[in-house]
Amino acid sequence: MKKFPWITLSLALLALGICAYPPLTSLLELDRTALRQGQLWRLITGHLTHFDLDHLTWDLCGLLLLGTMADRENRRAMAITLLTSALTISVAVTVFQPQFATYRGLSGLDSALFGLVVTQLGLTGYRERHVFSITIASLALSAFVLKCGFELTTTETLFTAATTYAPVPLAHLVGAATGVVVAMLIPKER
């Protein structure tokens, strides 16, 4: 029997709850000024906040799909991926994207889960000499990099019409890279 994806569902419910009670958003979003005042929790909680319902919907779809896969396959690697990517994404956005006063969204964490799941598929394919799995994993990672390249060059999102926020492809790239690294370092659970 597969494990119940409690980490995924807990994060989804938290994000929904924060969206349902808007005062929480300004208290939890990644905000440069608040960080300078010592509100370090925002490095983690900013990922649970969103700019609008469309933003939340897309992020939750990614979380529910990829999170459930990761949660069932290797919960330990998933937890490490989420925590590590939350911190690395927040630091990267804060340091390398000074144009953003605030940052919100699960998409960077979704990207980290994507990197984790796809790399696990590729590694399993390599161990089992399953060329199809290796090919699918390679194509998926390549398509992801192309998507981020499109967003970097056009400053538009590929899958949604972002009217209330700007895309942050750096968050997606850092997240995916974190997922890839964790997949390579944390062995699959038995």
**136-189 confidence digits (pLDDT tens):** 999 999 999 999 999 889 887 777 766 677 889 999 999 999 999 999 999 876
Packing angle, helices 107-127 and 75-96, rounded to 10: 130
Packing angle, helices 6-20 and 53-62, rounded to 10: 180
Q: Are 25 and 18 in contact (CB under 8 A)?
A: yes
Q: Using CB atoms within 10 A of its CB, is residue 147 exposed (0-12), middle (13-18) or buried (19+)?
A: middle
pLDDT level of residue 118 (50, 70, 90 thresholds): very high
Q: Are 186 and 74 in contact (CB under 8 A)?
A: yes
pLDDT level of residue 1 (50, 70, 90 thresholds): low
pLDDT level of residue 85 (50, 70, 90 thresholds): very high
User: What's the pLDDT score for residue 155?
Assistant: 81
Nearest 5°: CA angle at 176, between 5 and 137? 80
- Residues 7-62: tens digit of each pLDDT: 999 999 999 999 999 999 999 999 999 999 999 999 999 999 999 998 999 999 99
Would the pLDDT of 190 be above 80? Answer: no
User: What's the pLDDT score for residue 140?
Assistant: 97
Would the pLDDT of 84 be above 90? Answer: yes
Q: Are 28 and 48 in contact (CB under 8 A)?
A: yes
User: What's the pLDDT score for residue 189?
Assistant: 66
- Residues 87-113: tens digit of each pLDDT: 999 999 999 999 999 999 999 999 999
